[in-house]
Amino acid sequence: MVEKINAMAKNMSSSMQAQRSAMATQTIGKKITYEDNLPSPWSSDVIPSRGSFELVGEDTRAGTITIRWQQGIDPSIKGREAVWKMAGALGISRSSGTGADGLPKGMVLKDEATVVLERMTGLPVKLDHRRDVALGTAASSNHWVFERVGK
């Protein structure tokens, strides 16, 4: 479990670091989108993903900004092909059902986080993360919060 948390934090951390400088001058409510890859929770494959960062608030008194981050399976052709290849190896075929997004019915791999950062340093004050994973009739949801104690 610790390895999975570390891998998620590393993936989120590298994505967030890449966007941090852009957020310094970002307008509240304007999303920055990107394409990446997520490690598959079902196999050793990687899954094409799309994500976004959005500055949702600023507390000038506290000197913080709040960012919303989302990332999930890229439902484009590239993402669908990778997912169906992986699903086939797991014994799941298109005849088992396809969702409206073209992915296997019931497949979910989604991360969402709200991050509060010190505006001047970019250091995190609070990170609230949720990951939803589902395939077929199996599903899990993990939620964790890291909050800086003291200064």
User: Per-residue pLDDT averaged across 52-79, rounded?
Assistant: 92
- The tens digit of pLDDT for each residue in 111-135 reads 999 999 998 888 999 999 999 999 8
Residue of 48, 40, 31, 28 lying closest to 102 (CA atoms)? 48
User: Per-residue pLDDT averaged across 38-64, rounded?
Assistant: 91
Q: Is 96 helix (H, G, I), strand (E, B) or coil?
A: helix
**What's this model's pTM, rounded to 2 decimal places?**
0.74
In degrees rounded to 5, what are phi and psi of residue 149? -110, 125
Residue of 133, 50, 45 lying closest to 90 (CA atoms)? 45
Q: Are 83 and 47 in contact (CB under 8 A)?
A: yes
